Amino acid sequence: MKKVYFDNAATTPMHPEVIVSMVKSMQETCGNPSSTHAFGRAAKSLVETARKSIAKHLNVSSSEIIFTAGASEANNLILHNAVCNLNVKTIITSRIEHHAVLHSIEKLYKTYQIDVLIVDVDTKGFIDYKHLETLLHNASGKTLVSLMYANNEIGTLLDCDKVSALCEKFDALFHSDTVQGIGHYAIDLQKTPIDFIVASAHKFHGPKGVGFAYFKKGFGIEPLIFGGSQEKGARAGTENVHAIFGMAAALDLAYAHLEKDKQHVFGLKKYMIDQLQSTFESVKINGTFEGASYNILSVRFNEKSDLLPFQLDLKGIACSSGSACQSGSSAGSHVLQTILPLQEQEKPAIRFSFSHFNTKEEVDYVVSALKAIFK
């Protein structure tokens, strides 16, 4: 049976060159980076070289990068510090953020009685920037805006320059969940001054279980995990040396081939839309084509089909009915519930997400499989 992997927004396959690099580092480097002997110093060198490499891609100082176990931890660390360390009294966010942000804000609201303001989004998933400006104008106390760079379910992109300018105007902090942006778009934090961003290596062909948080220089960091002085006191625990090394290697590869890979993946997305629309007259895009991430395509069908992702899985096709972090949940996609009218929410929806490893032949196979299922 043919196998097709179109769930890259959930996680990407590791790049073969990253695997080779990580195996080499595991074979040659065994020390604890906190140890002062030669073995420890060699491990420490790997970690700090990776930190400098990642920082260079973002045009920031290496001291502003904190390694974590992934973006969920990084988002929690940032939001916790905003309230408990930086005296934030109001958080402005949207209903279509990742649950790592929404659930963290909910916990902070219940624990510290902060104000939480919800900015409007339209039917395509775009932020209402005028409403955001109104909320910022009326917000009381120190304020943080938390809005994601690219929506993980529908791909809608945020105008970070516009949000950054609004935050500067009203002296607010700006946090962006950039999980679907890092490694896919060039992000220069000197040109677009975002205060806090996050990344997970497995979203750009690196290893799972490792990521980072960016804290703009000048912000002290109160840890969530205690027990050691690693990561400049921001996160206790021995660093995941080889995964950190692999993350930096994956990011180097992503940005070295960024434009070439982007053109290839965008071509696949456009090709799939054309094939779907010529095969299924009623297919509709969730969100938008213009102004959306080039690698994420969410669509819904009029044709009735129960357990559509499961049926595709039986044909060797991996995709998602929404965010992978909601798999197994009967609640459905909170993003689609926010942007779609009730009658449209009931239609079967699928998120396809692509990488440079995918091909047009795989698109043809998926469209053929869908045609057989709906028939």
pLDDT of residue 330: 58
> For residues 64 and 55, what is the distance between their CA atoms, to the nearest angstrom?
8
Q: What value does the mean pLDDT take over residues 176-185?
A: 98
Q: Which residues contact 291 (CB under 8 A, 6 or more apart)?
A: 124, 126, 156, 157
Is the full-model pTM beyond 0.75? yes
pLDDT of residue 326: 47
Q: Which residues contact 170 (CB under 8 A, 6 or more apart)?
A: 136, 137, 139, 143
pLDDT of residue 216: 97
Based on the residue annotation, tell me whether 325 is a catalytic residue of this protein: yes
Q: What value does the mean pLDDT take over residues 66-87?
A: 98
Q: What value does the mean pLDDT take over residues 147-154?
A: 98
Average pLDDT, the chain: 96
pLDDT of residue 322: 61
Chain segment 255-282, per-residue pLDDT in tens? 999 999 999 999 999 999 999 999 998 9
Chain segment 276-314, per-residue pLDDT in tens? 999 998 999 999 999 999 999 999 999 877 789 999 999
Min mean pLDDT across 74-88, 95-109, 296-310, 327-341 is at 327-341
pLDDT of residue 156: 98
**Domains of the chain listed by start with CATH number:** 4-12+258-374 (3.90.1150.10), 16-256 (3.40.640.10)
The b-or-e profile of 178-191 (16+ CB within 10 A means b, else e) is bbbbbbbbebebee
Identified catalytic residue from 84, 167, 319, 325: 325
> For residues 104 and 280, what is the distance between their CA atoms, to the nearest angstrom?
40
Q: Are 60 and 49 in contact (CB under 8 A)?
A: no
